[in-house]
Structure formats: C-alpha cells, structure tokens
Structure 1
Amino acid sequence: MSKTKERTSMPATSGPPSQLQVAGPVAPPRVSARRRRPGVIALSLALIAGGGAGVAVLLLQVGDRTPVVTVVRNVQVGQVLTEQDLGKASVALDPAVKAVRADDLKSVLGKRAAVELKPGSLLSPAQVTKDSLVKPGEQLVPIGLKPDQVPATALVPGQKVQLVHVPVQGAASADGDADKPDRAQETLTGRVVKASKAAPGTGIVVVDVATSAADGPKAAAWMSAGALRLVLDAPDGR
C-alpha cells in the first residue's frame, strides 16, 4: 500500500514582494488673483518716470563743468604770478562764484597777488592786481616787532598804521638833552603791505610798511635804533 506523503504547501507567490504605497502629487492651493487697480499702476509708472528724470538732471549737472584757474602753490601778497603758481581744473561752478576761467589764464600772468593765495583754491579776479602794492612816491620799510609789540588784531594788507618814534631811555632827545623827552611825539603814517608769521624761537613778526619816500629813511633809522613802535589806525580813519 503506497503511502501518500502529505505535503504542506505554502501559498505560491507570483511576482515581486509588495511595496509600500507612495502618495500621489499634492495639488497646490488655489490662489485667487488680486484685482489690479488702474490708479496704482499709473502712480507706479509716474514714480518710475520721475526718478528717471531726476537721475537725468543729476547727470546733466555733473556733466556741466567749467574749466577754471586754480592755485597750485603758496603765493605771498605782492608776488608776481607765474605759470608755476597756477593750474587748471574743471569744476561744477555755482553762478555766484567768481573765478578766472581757464581760457583767461594768460591774462593774470605777470599780475600781483592782492592777497595771500593758498594751494587748492580757485583764483578770483579780485585776488590779483596789476598795480604794485608800493605806489609811486612810496618806500617799503621792514619793521620787526617783538612778541609784546605785535597787535592782537591781525595785520592785513592795506591796513593804515602810525609809526611812532619812542626814544630809547638815556638816548639824546631832539634838542640834544639825553634824559629830556621830546615835547611832541613824532609820528609817521604808513600802510601795511605784508606781515610775516611769528619766527620760531624768537616770535618776531616782520611787517612791511609802505610810507612816503621822504619818511622812509627816517622810519628806517628809528627802526635801527630800536625807537620805533607801530600803532594801528581805526578802520576808515575813525
């Protein structure tokens, strides 16, 4: 009698093992379109146009430059201007600013500085003169002032001064008596042409004073004897 083997059969599987389910694509949320207002669009266009116009105006202003004459090195009062003292530059010039144009540079060469000129500044027509600061019939007398003799008020070209004779103690007076002061203080009139800065160490300031040709030698003698003092006149002679 044949024995029938009982098989315990596993359920047959056909195909690959089952995989995890993958979620499908998510639909994006609907965004409702905003209504565009014609007024807002018009305002935006106007602002863009205005900004462009402003930039254009700025570019035109920057491009509108004027060639002018500049000072390239220190020039003292009364000094004759040369080509080495001056240069040229193109700047955006305000109409209220008076400056010598670059085309007129040759017209100022050979003239004198009416004021002290500093490097980097624009040259103004009022800063130069064709006249000598020492006029015909005048002489220039250099006067050295000690620190205690220098006025607190700044000495500027054109300022009127008095040259006062102050005899040294023990020196002979006008009538020959050594200790007898002059009955009347003698003075001479003058005009400041230039004043130097205080010398290092001594503090002495040298002032160039223009005075009449007749008074120049006398003022120089007073200065040599240490008997001269400088006194400022009031503005406009008042």
Structure 2
Amino acid sequence: MSKTHERAAPVNGVPPQMQVAGPVTPPRVSARRRRPGVIALSLALIAAGGAGVAVLLLQVGHRTEVVTVVRDVQVGQVLTEQDLGEASVALDPAVKAVGADDLKSVVGKRAAVELKPGSLLAPSQVTKDSLVKPGEQLVPIGLKPEQVPATDLVPGQKVKLVHVPAQGIAASDAESDTPPETIAGRVVKASKAAPGTGVVVVDVATTTADGPTAAAWVSAGMLRLVLDAPDGS
C-alpha cells in the first residue's frame, strides 16, 4: 500500500516554498541593578561639589571697603588724607585692615612703621603717640656695614649704646678691666644702607640726660650699638 505525502496548504494563495519567515524577537536582557549605596554616594558628592562652588562664589562676591596706602610714609610721619585711599577687596577674616568708614580716625596719627604704596593699612601700623616720648631725645647714629646687626632693626627695638676707645687709641690696663660705659636706648627708625658706602643711619631715643653724651660718642667715633634681648634684660 503506497504512502501518500501530505502537502501544506497555501496561505493566502502563496505556496509554502514561497513563504518568508517573520521577524525574530530579540532575547530580553535584564536591566543591571544599581546598588543603593553607590547612588547615595554619587548624590552626596554632587551635593558637596555644589555647596563648595556656592561658598566660593559667596566669598568672591563679598567685598570689604578698606583703607590703603597711596604713597610712601616714613616712620613717625603724621598721616594725611593725601597719604591714604580706599579699595574694595575680598578680605580674608585673618587679615586685619582699617575699614574705609574709619579713614578719618587714622588721619593725624603717626606711622608706627614705614608704609608703602599699594598696601592695606592695619590698625597696628598707626599710633597716636609720638615715637619720641616726653623726657627723651633722638640721637642719629651712623653704622658702617660691619657694624650693622644681621637682625633687622625695627621701631621699638631696645638697644644699648656702648662707649668704646677711638680707633688707633689703645685702652690702658685700668680701663681694660673696667666694663664699658653704656646708655640704654630704643630704635625709632633705621634707614636703608646708603648706596656706595653701605652706611645705615639709626635714630635712637635716649633720655634727655644721656642724649648729649651719646651724641659726643658718635661724633668722636667711640660708640657701638648693641641689641638688647627681647625682654630688655
């Protein structure tokens, strides 16, 4: 008994051999799960960065009106309005400067230190007191390069003026056993080294009684300047 082959029936009149397979559905890929800890850390970093930028913008935007120095002012010189100006700056809290509102209050005071143009004026740089006090005299002392201390001479530095034998004159045996005569003093101002000679002139305040003696020692070339310890001892 012969076997008969069953043929597939045409679909919509199209023979089976002419039929085209339909599109293949791609396999589904499960989404990668994100860990909550990573997400929280990312959000925290973004928030911190935004806060830092905000603080920086606030600091840059916050400016303070302060008093500035517009020309050279020597130690002890009385300040005038022409010596000072105003500026708006982003001021660090650690920096102390005279506010523009207080400009009038510093006019008429004396410079306690040398002031340079372009610098901010600090409260400690001015004083209402004279650098030479009542009962004192100012003695200018010229120091040769080898006599100038390596330590900077600053206003207020306590010193001793020492009487020494003049050059070329030897001290006697009796004088050599005697401690040299000294005069206490205080630096009011020290100049810069003079071009060519290197001489530094130091203004020293002494008592009215000692001023003439110190001036005589200077004139005779018989004086040396010695720095005292910071506590004056």
TM range (shorter): 0.7 to 0.9
Contact in 2 for aligned 1:141/1:219 (Cα 8 Å): yes
Bigger Rg, structure 1 or 2: 1
Identity %: 83
Is 2:191 the counterpart of 1:191? no
Structure 1 pair 182/204, CA: closer, same or farther in 2 (3 Å)?
Answer: farther
Cα displacement (A) at 1:61: 2.5
Q: Which residue of 1 aligns with 2:129?
A: 131
Deviations 1:94-150 (A, max 9, x none): 222211100100100111111222222211111111001111000000000111111
Alignment of 1:23-62 (within 5 A): 55-62=53-60
**Structure 1 unaligned blocks of 5 or more:** 1-34, 172-177
- 2:78 corresponds to: 80
Query: Which residues of 2 match residues 96-115 of structure 1 at below 5 A?
Result: 96-115=94-113
Q: Distance in 2 between matches of 1:53 and 1:224?
A: 68
Offset of 1:229 from its aligned partner?
A: 1.2
Shift of 1:208: 0.2
Residue 160 of structure 2 is matched in structure 1 by 162
Confirm or deny: 8 A CA contact 1:142 1:206 kept in the other structure. Answer: yes
Report the number of matched residues. Answer: 202
Q: Pick from 131, 150, 156 the counterpart of residue 152 of structure 1.
A: 150
Say yes or no: does 1:204 pair with 2:204.
Answer: no
Specify whether residues 217 and 46 from structure 1 end up closer, same or farther in structure 2 by C-alpha distance, changes over 3 A only. closer
Give the conservation status (yes or no) of the 8 Å contact 1:170–1:179: no
Cα deviation, 1:19-58, whole Å, max 9, x if unaligned, reads xxxxxxxxxxxxxxxx8x9999999999888766655544
Cα distance in 2 between the residues matched to 1:43 and 1:231: 65
Runs (5+) with no aligned partner, structure 2: 1-30
| TM-score normalised by length of structure 1 | 0.72
TM-score for both structures, normalised by structure 2: 0.73
1:221 paired with 2:222, answer no
For the residues of structure 1 that align with 2:162 and 2:106, how far apart are their CA atoms? 38
2:62 matched residue in structure 1: 64
Residue 154 of structure 1: how far off its partner (Å): 1.4
